[in-house]
Amino acid sequence: MSIRERLSGNEAAATAMKQINPDVVAAFPITPSTEIPQYFSTFVNNGAVDTEFVAVESEHSAMSACIGAEAAGGRAMTATSANGLSFMWEMIYIASSMRLPIVMSLVNRAVSGPLNIHNDHSDAMGVRDAGWIMLFSENNQEAYDNLIMAHRIAENKNVMLPLMVCQDGFITSHSIENIELIEDDLVKNFVGKYEPEHFLLNEKEPISMGPLDLQSYLFEHKKQQSVAMCNAKQVILDVSKEFEKMTGRSYGLFEEYKLDDAEIAIVCMNSTAGTTKFVVDELRNKGIKAGLLKVRVFRPFPAEEIAKALSHIKAIAVLDKADSLNACGGALFTDVTSSMQVNKVTVPTVSYIYGIGGRDTKSTDIEAVFSDLSEIVKTGDIGNPYRYLGLRG
C-alpha cells in the first residue's frame, strides 16, 4: 500500500535517495538543488541511512568523489544545478567513459552568464552528448519515481552508464504537491544490491581505471558507450514495466496525451507538459484536435518511436527551454526533426525557444502556439520555422 505525502520536488528526490540508501553521497550546495543534499544530510545525521556523506569544496570534487566511490565498487549519488553541473563538466565525461552508473538529481536552472538562478534547460542541454542517460520529470511524482528506477537502469550489465534525473528548478523543486511514496522495503527489494562485475577493491581481479587511451582504442571504446546507450532504451522499458507492477504507475519513453487523433501537436519536456495538457483539454472542449507528446527519455533519444507517434499529425511545434544559439532551433527540435527525416516522416514542424531564465510560460502562450499550428494547417505555409515564445519586443 502506497504512502500519501505532500512533498516538494527536492524533498521527493531526497526521500528517494534515503530509501535507496546509497553507499556514498557527495555534494556541494547550489540553488535550486541545495535542499536535496541538505535534507539527505539530516537523514545521515539521524541514522535513517548508513550512507557516507561527503561534504566537498566544489561540484568538481563532488563528481570526483562519486567517481572514486563507484570505481571502488560502491553505489554513489549526487545532486546539482546549472553552474555546478558546468563545474563538473570534465568529470561528467570521465564518469560515462569509465562506465560508472552514478545517479544524479539535476534541478534544471539557467547557466551563467548573466547570473540567473531560475529555470530553463541550458544546464542539461550543455551535457546532452556526454554519455549520460537523461530522464525528464513533469512533476514531483515523476522526479521521485524516476530516481527509484534510476539505479536499475544505470547498473544493468548491458548499460553501465551514469544517469541524471531532471526536474524544473523552483517550478517543481520548491513546489509542494501530493505524492505517493513506496514502502521502504519495496524500494529496497526493487532497487536491489549493487554488485559490480569489475571494481578497484576486488582483490581477486587487480585492474586499472582511467588509463591513457590513444588512437589504437579510444574510437572503439566510444562505440561501446554508444552501444550501451542504445541498449538502455529497452532496459528503461523493462524496468518501467516492473515498476508499474509494483506501483500501478506506467512510464514509457515518452507520454502521448490525446495524440491518437490529434491534428496539431506540441512536443516538450518537464513541467511545461502540465500546462500544455490543460490547454489541450480546453481546445478539445472547443472541438480543436490538439495533442501533446511529452519526452521523458531524452538520452537515449527514442527517434524511431517518436517519428512513428507523430507521423499522422498535420503540424508540430517543438518547445525548447534552452537556445542552442545555432541559428537553427533548439536541441529537442533538431533531434525531433532529424528523427522524422531519417524515418521518412514529413510533417510541417516549427521550433519555439521559450522560458529562458525562468520567463513564465502561461496557458495563453501555449494557446498561441496551437493557434499558429492551426494556421499552418490551413495555409500550408510554415513561414519562419525558428521562433521565440513569450519574448518581449
Inter-residue contact 72 to 199 (CB < 8 Å): yes
Percent of the chain with pLDDT over 70: 100
163/101 Cα distance (integer angstroms): 7
pLDDT one-digit tens code per residue, 300-345? 999 999 999 999 999 999 999 999 999 999 999 999 999 999 999 9
Mean pLDDT of 145-161: 98
Quick one: which of 256, 236, 251, 370 has its CA closest to 309?
Answer: 256
197/122 Cα distance (integer angstroms): 35
313/293 Cα distance (integer angstroms): 11
Query: Bridge partners of 3?
Result: 181
Please tell me the predicted confidence (pLDDT) of residue 48. 98
Phi, psi of 68, deg, nearest 5:
-60, -40
33/288 Cα distance (integer angstroms): 39
Helix (H) or strand (E) holding 56: none
| Residue 290 pLDDT > 90 | yes
Please tell me the predicted confidence (pLDDT) of residue 112. 96
C-alpha cell at position 295: 519526452
Mean pLDDT of 139-149: 98
Position 47, amino acid: G
pLDDT one-digit tens code per residue, 3-58? 999 999 999 999 999 999 999 999 999 999 999 999 999 999 999 999 999 999 99
Q: What is the pTM of this model?
A: 0.98
- Beta pairing, strands 254-257 & 290-295: antiparallel
DSSP codes of every residue in 208-244: --S----TTTHHHHHHHHHHHHHHHHHHHHHHHHHHH
Please tell me the predicted confidence (pLDDT) of residue 28. 98
Inter-residue contact 259 to 286 (CB < 8 Å): no
Grid cell 519574448 is found at 391
Please tell me the predicted confidence (pLDDT) of residue 2. 83
Burial class (CB in 10 A: 0-12, 13-18, 19+), 384: exposed
Please tell me the predicted confidence (pLDDT) of residue 211. 87
Q: How confident is the model at residue 1 (pLDDT cuts 50, 70, 90)?
A: low
